[in-house]
Structure 1
């Protein structure tokens, strides 16, 4: 059956977009060559989508029957910090073989400026024999999906769009206007792509500043969390960010030094972004350092110490572990000879170095038996006042515990 929309890639971007489209009454299919990987939607929500007509297909022929196709393929940084576009390319080739004239194609994957025009466009044109901007519309829209956000969703978050041509922009505008209250037109494809770059780097740079402040304030004996509480009362010129054990999530900071040669800016790297990444990457080791010091101060060695990790997901009240610092922290603790266990209400099984990590069934009993309990993610089910009473030592890396109830980052 034909549909208005095909969402290609049903991961952390695609499935929520499909959910919003279905809620708006848009006939939607989801295409993915692999299993659905989004962990923010419940089984009940997916069942409701299906009841409303949403259909998942692995038959690429269905892509040739839609008016709009949105590519939400995953992109990640490789070991060399270059962006892996292979999934975007695969999605483009699959779509190109079925692309019909007058279709609107929109890329939402996190990419660096130039990818839509210089990478995806040739794939679509060569595979379809059609020309972008003449035979079909091509646009980019940075995803602003914030998993678990109870205030802002797709419907009430402004959507930025930029097209290859003005007509492409208007076609994308017409589609997103069915989903959200406000659509913002960028000047073109690269401006829209650079919005994604700026927003992601803004987050990482500001978190890095707070992580540096956390280390400084601890050394000075200053309560950083109280400093932030006071600073955020300023009604202008300040936005509160908070430190943590590391930066997780799907959005990755992009430094032009690691972009493909055709889009690189020699002599003008975003030095602050590279430095921010270095600072944020050091935080798991800083957590280990603080943990070892706390144990030593209480007459215990990290070797043989029972350490309980609380919350191993990257974000509060979600099951998503993408980029969570918990895995590196657990690995470093194991290197020190610690006996590591974990508790997370959203994760029933967890492996580090391909070995299962014991899961605590009774939270309070586990905290009482552990030499050190480390809060890595503050899920709302955790009663930190009660945990602070039960735990022998509690290191709070999120600043969520009441003042004086635990050692805070």
Structure 2
């Protein structure tokens, strides 16, 4: 395998190039699909042999990527999944799409990145391009990954090429596919940037080159901090307007008609997903190294983290006003445990904090989610694993229904038959449904 950057770019353009994608989840699998659709060979690598077997049989395990797409990927002859890390030697480029969670102390947990980089280093060959796509703090690619990759004697920029290109997936959003979203790319040197830009340019509509890996890392974390801060703002406005008898949803919808200077964000029961609740804390942690206090970001985190408790207090007050009873022994049905609508992803979902708070106060809890038939294993709430979604036939038997996730394919008309609905997503009002008692929380 040649380390000549010109030759590597030529091979990318000729589609004589194999790309290994490590981590076949909500980021990695759509990435593989985009690669194969562009005529590039893709080797999917995952530690879960069940996922590997399912993909090689042409079947998907993500509701956002249908079986037909996996079958088409396999039919091209360009895609194969494997759990064998030695197969990384067959690849010209290796893209890392692994989790970057927080640890028990709310600090960055780079164990997945470190372990995966060690796996890549054991198979590293001259001429390979290595790209991290996982969201992280500025400096991770250069300070954490590069020393591991260079420990065997090969040097970045001379023997192999290192880059960072943040994922921008939005699972469940049919308007934006992997290939249609502009791709930010930063490299360790001009050659790495040129090769990485050529690779992504082969299967995405637009590549946005930036000055360095650190700049690209900062771009991604800025995008997510922006969302977290603005969500915190509307969550706080919701509390203020609610005390004034003003519906924040009406306010936001009306404000959004302004064609400039305003971007709508919406309140909710708390943050969820693999990015927004986590990434700002990566930056606050890194900022302390440079003696900076990120007060604005940390305040937003405090507001968003407090939302589940505020929802439960609103539910308790509504239950008392409607039924004259407290949460103890009350039957509460949650609608949705996925972190966002129309996906089966439960990572960091506020639903589990809500369940925890409800059960701590003696409530009997149940949930209905058409995308989550059973709660999977969870890092922070293992006690809920295995609980099953139930139907809506007995909607009248619950003291309250708490709307957490506004999936489109919920029978909202049936939900509206409940005696009390506490809605954190404005789901019923948007569908012009009026239950006996509706409380927006």
The alignment's TM-score, normalised by the length of structure 1, stands at 0.93
Q: Please, which of 206, 210, 215 is the counterpart of residue 230 of structure 2?
A: 206
Matching residue of 1:14: 28
Q: How does 1:95-174 map to 2 (within 5 A)?
A: 95-127=120-152, 129-174=153-198
**1:164-183 CA distance string (max 9 Å, x none):** 10111110000001111100
| Separation in 2, partners of 1:222, 1:407 | 13
In the superposition, relative to structure 1, how do residues 163 and 82 fare at CA in structure 2: closer, same or farther (>3 Å)?
same
1:408 aligns with 2:423: no
Q: 1:41 offset after TM fit, Å? A: 2.7
Q: Please, which of 333, 345, 360 is the counterpart of residue 320 of structure 1?
A: 345
SS in 1 for 2:73: helix
| Separation in 1, partners of 2:428, 2:265 | 17
In the superposition, relative to structure 1, how do residues 345 and 227 fare at CA in structure 2: closer, same or farther (>3 Å)?
same
1:384 aligns with 2:408: no
**1:79-131 CA distance string (max 9 Å, x none):** 2221111111111111112211111111101110001011100111113x210
Matching residue of 1:354: 383
Q: Is the 8 A contact 1:372 1:391 kept in 2?
A: yes
Could you tell me which runs of 5 or more consecutive residues in structure 2 were left unpaired when the two chains were aligned. Answer: 1-15, 52-60
The alignment's TM-score, normalised by the length of structure 2, stands at 0.87
Q: Is the 8 A contact 2:38 2:203 kept in 1?
A: yes
Q: CA RMSD in A?
A: 1.9
Q: Is the 8 A contact 1:257 1:265 kept in 2?
A: no
Q: How does 1:47-66 map to 2 (within 5 A)?
A: 47-53=71-77, 54-66=79-91
Q: Is the 8 A contact 1:340 1:357 kept in 2?
A: no
Q: Is the 8 A contact 1:39 1:320 kept in 2?
A: no
Q: Please, which of 206, 221, 228 is the counterpart of residue 197 of structure 1?
A: 221
In the superposition, relative to structure 1, how do residues 386 and 60 fare at CA in structure 2: closer, same or farther (>3 Å)?
closer
Matching residue of 2:10: none
1:398 aligns with 2:425: yes
Query: After the TM superposition, which segments of 4 or more aligned residues of structure 1 sit over 6 Å from their partners?
Result: none
Q: Is the 8 A contact 1:331 1:353 kept in 2?
A: no
Matching residue of 2:42: 28
